[in-house]
Structure 1
């Protein structure tokens, strides 16, 4: 069972991997500004891109819906 990360833990996790926020955003196809806002607590990650970023960073348990109608389905990331 993996616990949900705090913003500080998510930042430390990125640093542990040797990745910048820019690199993380590029790898996952998300907006770097949104990623910075999630890490700073200015966005809560309730919907849309912010939700996706929060789930990818492990700061939220959730499902990432497919980006396009032709994709193979939603991605579920269970932290429990």
Structure 2
């Protein structure tokens, strides 16, 4: 298991894949403002949709319940 990414690394991953924040958000059914807040460090992704988004972005290690 690898260490969680920094916000800069997560943003760079999206850039490498050619995916915008809006596109990532649409693909994962997330609010794009929430994703932007996570990538800017304004939110920590502790619970709910923020947790789900942080795990999907690689910002934290965690489990996503289906």
TM-score (norm 1): 0.79
Where do 5+ consecutive residues of structure 2 fail to align?
A: none
The structure richer in helix per residue is 2
Verify: 1:29 aligned to 2:29, yes or no.
yes
- Between the aligned partners of 1:36 and 1:54, the Cα distance in structure 2 is 11
- Between the aligned partners of 2:50 and 2:29, the Cα distance in structure 1 is 12
- Between the aligned partners of 2:41 and 2:5, the Cα distance in structure 1 is 13
CA drift of 1:3 comes to 2.3
CA displacement, residues 17-70 of structure 1 (integer Å, 9 cap, x when unaligned): 00000000101111111000000111100001110010000000001122xxxx
Please name the residue that 1:19 is paired with: 19
The structure richer in strand per residue is 1
Instruction: Give the alignment of 1:1-80 within 5 angstroms.
Output: 1-66=1-66
* CA RMSD of superposed structures (Å): 0.8
